[in-house]
């Protein structure tokens, strides 16, 4: 079911190609037979493609909701907009010993301490999406005066009451044991604040 949803709503290019191929075959059959039913079929395939396109445009899947949430977070990080990033974090957020309130303090400090371009989101990959959670991998690079510092994170998203998906957990998977709290301490040390 998940594969069908992905093909129909998220990546319908394959179905467009199949509809175009069916149209070409129908044209060939019509050209050789001139049958009335083939003339009707010449209308069916383009209409099916347009209908599929409208359906894919109208339906926003959970995977697309997670992607849109991440795009808002990444834009806020690039703009050093702490409130913009925090708007996409769930109220029940947890990361090691850090809750949303602690994350807000860290985000405000980071927005003031960092310069544009010092933190780069190098990659974002959606690993799996279920009805109640989504697991993603994020590669973040902090460009310090001592050289780049790479961290790999597993970020979880969950649907909220308002229908939007928000971040509800973030765990560093490389370097192992590194936390958001430690990231704040490290940033203070590097910035000498």
Q: Give per-residue pLDDT as tens, 114-131.
A: 888 888 899 999 999 988
Query: Is the same domain home to 54 and 67?
Result: no
What residue numbers bound the domain in which 70 lies? 62-191
Q: Per residue in 55-85, pLDDT tens? A: 888 888 899 999 999 999 999 988 999 999 9
Confidence of residue 132 (pLDDT cuts 50, 70, 90): very high
100 and 89 in contact (C-beta within 8 Å)? Answer: yes
Peptide bond into 175 cis (omega under 30): yes
CB atoms within 10 A of CB 10: 14
Name the domain count of the chain: 2
- 144 shares a domain with 70: yes
Pair 119, 169 in one domain: yes
Cα–Cα distance, 140 to 105 (Å, whole number) = 20
Q: Which residues contact 102 (CB under 8 A, 6 or more apart)?
A: 181
- Calpha distance 50→44 (Å, rounded): 10
Give yes or no for residue 193 having a pLDDT over 60.
Answer: no
Q: How confident is the model at residue 190 (pLDDT cuts 50, 70, 90)?
A: low
Percentage with pLDDT > 70 across the chain: 94
The predicted model scores a pTM of 0.76
């Amino acid at each position: 079911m998940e594969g069908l949803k992905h093909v129909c709503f998220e990546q319908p290019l394959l179905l467009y190609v199949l509809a175009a191929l069916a149209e070409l075959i129908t044209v060939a059959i019509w050209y050789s037979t001139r049958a009335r039913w083939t003339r009707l079929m010449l209308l069916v395939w383009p209409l099916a493609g347009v209908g599929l396109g409208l359906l894919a445009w109208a339906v926003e899947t959970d995977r697309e909701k997670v992607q849109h949430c991440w795009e808002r977070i990444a834009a806020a990080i690039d703009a050093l907009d702490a409130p913009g990033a925090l708007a996409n974090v769930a109220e029940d957020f947890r990361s090691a010993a850090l809750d949303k309130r602690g994350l807000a303090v860290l985000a405000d400090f980071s927005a003031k301490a960092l310069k544009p371009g010092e933190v780069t989101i190098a990659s974002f990959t959606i690993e799996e999406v279920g009805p109640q959670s989504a697991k993603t991998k994020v590669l973040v690079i902090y460009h310090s005066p001592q050289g780049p510092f790479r961290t790999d994170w597993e970020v979880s998203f969950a649907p909220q009451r308002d229908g939007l998906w928000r971040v509800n957990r973030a765990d560093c998977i490389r370097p192992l044991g590194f936390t958001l709290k430690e990231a704040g301490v490290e940033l203070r040390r590097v910035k000498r604040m």
